[in-house]
């Protein structure tokens, strides 16, 4: 992912928040953050915990003045652990968490993974992409994301489209997909 963000920068892509593009894992004690999250909402799926430990977060939202043909490229975003902890603290403080919008129909906490494709493009949209915690699977399905994939496959799909899986719906775009794919494969 470091090569992909570097390639985007070199191509003149303007990140919405340069510091958030690929900041690395949580500053401080990542294990303390994961332990707090688990204490608040239950067992964290292994793929999500590993992502926070190794990568931290990624946010490819942004634009390029010359790239056209795709209004909703759905850039890869995985919210940082700090954001998930903030939501979990709010969730845990509620009297009836299952009645709140971020709780799933099962009453489990919905950890925010990313805004939906419309919100990523600066428009009002739907519910954020999320995973349920606690869960009994190591690689939970990303809810609300249109492909219905487990978390690791969602990240893989995004990288298979150079970090922008919405490009699969845009056949006449002018994005330098070949260069983005090469950078995504390189790491």
Question: What pLDDT does residue 126 have?
Answer: 75
Neighbour count for residue 61 (Cβ, 10 Å): 21
What digits encode the pLDDT tens for the residues 143-156? 989 899 999 999 99
Rg over CA atoms, the chain: 17
Helix (H, G, I), strand (E, B) or coil at 114: strand
Distance CA 40, CA 34 (A): 10
Question: What pLDDT does residue 100 have?
Answer: 63
Say how many CA atoms lie within 13 Å of 99 toward its Cβ. 4
What digits encode the pLDDT tens for the residues 108-142? 888 999 988 888 888 887 778 999 998 789 999 99
Question: What pLDDT does residue 16 have?
Answer: 94
What is the reported pTM?
0.92
What digits encode the pLDDT tens for the residues 6-62? 999 999 999 999 999 999 887 678 999 999 999 999 999 999 999 999 999 999 999
Neighbour count for residue 69 (Cβ, 10 Å): 12
Distance CA 162, CA 175 (A): 10
Q: What is the mean pLDDT of the chain?
A: 90
For the cut 70, the answer to whether the pLDDT of residue 101 exceeds it is no
């Amino acid at each position: 992912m470091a090569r992909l963000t570097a390639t985007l920068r070199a191509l003149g892509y303007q990140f919405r928040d340069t510091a958030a593009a690929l900041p690395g894992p949580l500053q401080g004690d990542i294990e303390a953050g994961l332990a707090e999250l688990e204490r608040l909402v239950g067992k964290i799926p292994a793929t999500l915990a590993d992502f926070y430990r190794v990568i931290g977060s990624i946010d490819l939202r942004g634009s390029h003045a010359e790239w056209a043909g795709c209004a909703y490229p759905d850039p890869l975003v995985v919210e940082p652990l700090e954001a998930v902890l903030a939501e979990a603290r709010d969730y845990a403080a509620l009297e009836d968490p299952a009645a709140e919008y971020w709780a799933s129909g099962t009453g489990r906490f919905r950890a925010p993974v990313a805004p939906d494709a419309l919100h990523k493009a600066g428009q009002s949209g739907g519910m954020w992409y999320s995973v349920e915690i606690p869960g009994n699977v190591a690689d939970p399905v990303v809810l609300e994301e249109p492909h219905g994939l487990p978390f690791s496959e969602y990240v893989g799909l995004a990288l298979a489209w150079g970090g922008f899986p919405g490009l699969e719906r845009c056949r006449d775009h002018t994005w330098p997909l070949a260069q983005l794919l090469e950078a995504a494969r390189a790491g």
